[in-house]
């Protein structure tokens, strides 16, 4: 596996960044007065996925890196749960839900693979 000097080079961080942009484009026009509580929470959680990858990369040890990747993994799962609520409240459509859900699952797979790699090396 290649060595990365910056977190921006990591595919999982890039995928997380794309997820954030997609969520912003999907939710930016929603009524803040009615759905702001959930939309803000979704944005914070999605941001946490990519931010914890970056923070973990900046840590000095592998154990800390793995810990922050686990935070990202937890945030990605939390985001999926929030997306179900957004779909149930009809903030997002079922088809948009499925697209974003698949991105979260992809991020989870990448995080799990990367974490397992770090544990072995």
CATH number at residue 111: 1.20.1440.60
Q: What is the pTM of this model?
A: 0.91
CA atoms in the 13 A half-sphere facing the CB of 115:
18
User: CA-to-CA distance for 70 and 64, rounded, in angstroms?
Assistant: 10
Gyration radius from the chain CA atoms: 15
- Domain housing 104: 31-120
Determine, yes or no, domain membership for 67: yes
Determine, yes or no, domain membership for 8: no
pLDDT score for 1? 47
CA 51 to chain centre: 9
pLDDT score for 8? 97
Determine, yes or no, domain membership for 11: no
Residue range 41-55: mean pLDDT, rounded? 97
User: CA-to-CA distance for 118 and 67, rounded, in angstroms?
Assistant: 11
Determine, yes or no, domain membership for 10: no
Residue range 74-97: mean pLDDT, rounded? 97
Determine, yes or no, domain membership for 14: no
Quick: pLDDT tens for 60-78: 899 999 999 999 999 999 9
Determine, yes or no, domain membership for 13: no
Please report which helix (H) or strand (E) contains residue 16, including its range: helix 11-27
Quick: pLDDT tens for 5-36: 899 999 999 999 999 999 999 998 887 778 88
The total of structural domains in the chain comes to: 1
User: CA-to-CA distance for 102 and 120, rounded, in angstroms?
Assistant: 27
Determine, yes or no, domain membership for 60: yes
């Amino acid at each position: 596996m290649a060595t990365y000097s910056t977190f921006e080079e990591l595919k999982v961080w890039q995928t997380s960044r794309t997820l954030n942009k997609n969520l912003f484009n999907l939710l930016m026009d929603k009524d803040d007065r009615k759905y702001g509580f959930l939309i803000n929470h979704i944005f914070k959680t999605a941001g946490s996925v990519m931010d914890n990858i970056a923070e973990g990369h900046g840590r000095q040890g592998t154990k800390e890196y793995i810990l922050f990747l686990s935070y990202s993994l937890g945030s990605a799962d939390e985001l999926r749960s929030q997306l179900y609520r957004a779909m149930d409240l009809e903030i997002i459509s079922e088809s948009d839900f499925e697209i974003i859900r698949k991105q979260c699952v992809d991020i989870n797979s990448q995080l799990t693979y990367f974490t397992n790699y770090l544990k072995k090396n």
